[in-house]
């Protein structure tokens, strides 16, 4: 035991030393210097500079060491070396809250002007855990169908219309396949950039969700979800308008295509791709695409309106930061029209302030001056819903299992009904196991249901 204790002490000291070595050390200039755990996107230079202009007594610097890694964030914060601010997404927020990492913003947000009412109604629930706010958006993500007008013109196919259906999507895709390229090019109708994202959007479009409202049962085996997954599978194997995993691998192996749906689309080899407004940040790298892209909302399902998921790369505050009060200024900055104008101009998704995304015309920038392109994303955010996770199972586990079962469908190992039935059963069993083992979740069960927890609750 003594030897084990010594090893733990040495390990802790080593981890602390590494954390200290990777810290961004502040300048001694009389300002409060904040660290922001985010990606080193070049746009952060403008964003951090504008924050310093708004709050001259405070500065923020990017600390990319733990960006996107929740485990590393938790370790750093637990050892007192974590960043003051950190990127937060809905699927990671619950675990960070349970670890005591994120500051509850609820007591301060309304007074300081960054409560959920300052962003899109469709997104507000994604900022909350059990009714308390833990983040505010840095930018807001929704998907639309972005298309290459040159390929449509080359094949003599009309551009997609905003109020189209998935049946229209299949019809347009087949027209692109059937009508030869006048220039003799080899094109595909759709570049499959993210199968999970495609299915998630279709789930919301079909009226589905991951869980019941109380979070105690998975609804991934519901008719709405199965319909969405079947739609995706049919487009790959029945209609043959979406590349299968093998098709994508073969395209990459042929050379000149690159890998990944966005690479294929950006290389002028695919007519359409499903992606967010942030894609236009990449356009300066592909000058041959500039001036030739359009966008329409996601196809709708039957008589239902077009709909898909929405999410945000939010900023949360380290509850253990000695500068947590100063960090609240950064969230005030994110809620300001000055910050949202930066997002409008650089094209990095949608701005947090919906007043600056009231129409396609309001989102026009130098990269894409076409208001119709931007209008597709305005329509999308107005009709979107976030994926709701359960407090009774780690969202990261749900996401990982979901990915595994979607891949089984993509590779024809399971049919959509089989995959979703097995996935829902696996999630429900884990929820039951978690409740049996964790008294804190049993209390949460009683709060949610108003009933006393018993082992036979389900």
**1 pLDDT more than 50:** no
pLDDT digits (tens, 9 = 90+) for 315-349: 999 999 999 999 999 999 999 999 999 999 999 99
Determine contact, residues 243/175, Cβ cutoff 8 Å: no
pLDDT digits (tens, 9 = 90+) for 173-218: 999 999 999 999 989 999 998 899 999 999 999 999 999 999 999 9
pLDDT digits (tens, 9 = 90+) for 54-84: 999 999 999 887 666 677 787 888 777 889 9
pLDDT over 90 percentage in the chain = 79
pLDDT value, residue 66: 67
Report the first-to-last Cα separation within the chain, whole angstroms.
Answer: 42
Phi, psi angle pair for 136, to nearest 5° = -135, 145
The two three-digit tokens of residue 315, written as one number: 């900023």
Q: How many secondary structure helices (H) and strands (E) does the chain include?
A: 17, 10
Is pTM beyond 0.75 here?
yes
- What are the extents of the domains in the chain? 21-141+313-373
pLDDT value, residue 245: 86
**304 pLDDT more than 60:** yes
Q: In whole angstroms, what is the distance from residue 244 CA to residue 260 CA?
A: 12
Question: Which segments within 23-82 are labelled E, that is strand?
Answer: 32-37, 58-62
- C-alpha separations of 31 from 55, 60, 258 in Å: 10, 10, 46
pLDDT digits (tens, 9 = 90+) for 78-109: 777 889 999 999 888 988 998 999 999 999 99
Task: Give the pLDDT mean for 36-53.
Answer: 92
| Alpha-helix runs per DSSP H in 384-454 | 395-410, 416-437, 439-449
**145 pLDDT more than 80:** yes
pLDDT value, residue 458: 83
Q: Looking at domain 21-141+313-373, which of 3.30.420.40, 3.40.190.10, 3.90.660.10, 3.40.50.1000 is its CATH number? A: 3.40.190.10
Task: Give the pLDDT mean for 273-289.
Answer: 93
Q: In whole angstroms, what is the distance from residue 62 CA to residue 315 CA?
A: 12
Residues 6+ apart with CB under 8 A from 362: 344, 356, 374
Q: In whole angstroms, what is the distance from residue 48 CA to residue 39 CA?
A: 13
Determine contact, residues 367/348, Cβ cutoff 8 Å: no
pLDDT value, residue 134: 97
* Residue 43 pLDDT grade (very low, low, confident, very high; cuts 50, 70, 90): confident
**10 pLDDT more than 50:** no
């Amino acid at each position: 035991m003594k030897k084990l204790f010594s090893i733990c002490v040495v390990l802790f000291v080593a981890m602390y030393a590494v954390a200290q070595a990777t810290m961004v050390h502040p300048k001694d200039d009389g300002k409060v210097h904040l660290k922001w755990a985010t990606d080193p996107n070049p746009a952060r230079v403008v964003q951090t500079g504008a924050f310093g202009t708004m709050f001259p007594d405070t500065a923020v610097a990017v600390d990319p060491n733990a960006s996107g890694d929740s485990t590393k964030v938790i370790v750093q914060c637990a050892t007192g070396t974590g960043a003051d601010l950190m990127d937060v997404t809905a699927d990671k927020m619950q675990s960070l809250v349970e670890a005591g990492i994120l500051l509850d913003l609820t007591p301060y947000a309304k007074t300081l002007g960054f409560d959920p009412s300052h962003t899109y109604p469709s997104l507000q629930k994604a900022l909350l855990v059990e009714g308390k706010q833990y983040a505010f958006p840095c930018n807001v993500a929704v998907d639309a169908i972005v298309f290459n007008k040159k390929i449509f013109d080359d094949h003599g196919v009309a551009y997609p219309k905003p109020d189209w259906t998935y049946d229209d999507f299949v019809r347009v895709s087949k027209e692109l396949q059937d009508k030869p390229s006048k220039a003799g090019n080899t094109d595909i109708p759709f570049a499959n950039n993210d199968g999970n994202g495609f299915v998630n959007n279709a789930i919301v479009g079909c009226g589905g969700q991951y869980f019941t409202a109380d979070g105690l049962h998975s609804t991934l085996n519901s008719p709405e979800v199965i319909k969405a997954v079947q739609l995706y599978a049919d487009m790959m194997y029945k209609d043959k308008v979406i590349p299968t995993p093998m098709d994508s691998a073969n395209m990459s192996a042929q050379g000149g295509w690159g890998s990944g749906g966005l690479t294929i689309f950006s290389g002028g080899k695919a007519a359409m791709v499903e992606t967010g407004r942030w894609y236009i940040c990449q356009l300066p790298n592909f000058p041959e695409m500039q001036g030739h892209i359009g966008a329409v909302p996601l196809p709708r399902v039957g008589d239902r309106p077009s709909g898909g998921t929405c999410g945000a790369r939010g900023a949360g505050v380290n509850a253990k930061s000695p500068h947590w009060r100063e960090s609240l200024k950064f969230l005030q900055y994110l809620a300001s029209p000055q910050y949202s104008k930066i997002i409008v101009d650089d094209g990095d998704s949608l701005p947090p302030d919906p007043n600056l995304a009231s129409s396609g015309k309001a989102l026009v920038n130098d990269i894409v001056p076409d208001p119709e392109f931007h209008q597709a994303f305005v329509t999308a955010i107005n009709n979107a819903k976030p994926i709701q996770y359960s407090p009774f199972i780690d969202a990261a586990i749900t996401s990982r299992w979901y990915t595994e079962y979607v891949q089984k469908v993509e590779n024809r190992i399971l049919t959509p009904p089989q995959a979703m039935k097995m996935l829902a059963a696996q999630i429900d069993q884990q929820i039951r196991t978690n409740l049996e083992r964790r008294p804190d979740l049993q209390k949460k069960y009683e709060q949610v249901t108003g009933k006393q927890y018993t082992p036979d609750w389900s």
